[in-house]
Copies of this chain bind each other. A is one copy, B any other.
Amino acid sequence: MAARAEELCRERSVQFTALRREVLEAVAASERPPGAYDIAERLSKPGRRVAPVSVYRALDFLMELGLVHRIASRNAFVPCAHEHGAGENVVFLICRTCGGIDETTSPEVESSLGRTLARAGFTPAHSILEVEGDCGACRTRSQGAGRAGA
């Protein structure tokens, strides 16, 4: 993850600083997509306080690079699971049971959305597609209940 970030930063001649790496790692390491304040708390230790505003700046930077996505419906952040550049359409699958967020792309959705927008005379710059529901793992787990081992 950090390796790709470094590469991207070299390409664009921007700095991949320690704080930015730490924020990226914090996002990547979290079970559930953390909020900015969660990240700030996580990075703060006795003797070193990371303010939310610093986290926001790092997150903005990482989002610019497409390394992190923002989940608008949750005010949370997820590491980008693919290697798409910024600007590509992503579908976020938000599990309301486990709280996990998966990411997928769909050329099919993208093209049909493109047609719909064209029909409406709308020029898209950027879109958000978030679906809340139940992920396969959680559904299986709840159906196989009663003996839902470990």
Interface residues of A (CB under 8 A from B): 72-73, 91, 93, 95-96, 102, 104, 106, 108-109, 112-113, 115-117, 120-136, 139
Contacts and interface: CB of A to CB of B under 8 A. Distances in A.
A109 B106 contact: no
Q: How many copies of this chain does one complex carry?
A: 2
A133 B117 contact: yes
Contact of A133 (B106, B108, B116, B123): B123
B133 A126 contact: yes
A123 B130 CA distance: 13
10 contacts: A72-B130, A91-B113, A104-B116, A106-B113, A109-B109, A109-B112, A121-B139, A123-B134, A123-B139, A128-B132
A130 B109 CA distance: 13
Given A112-B106, A115-B108, A120-B93, A129 B129 contact: yes
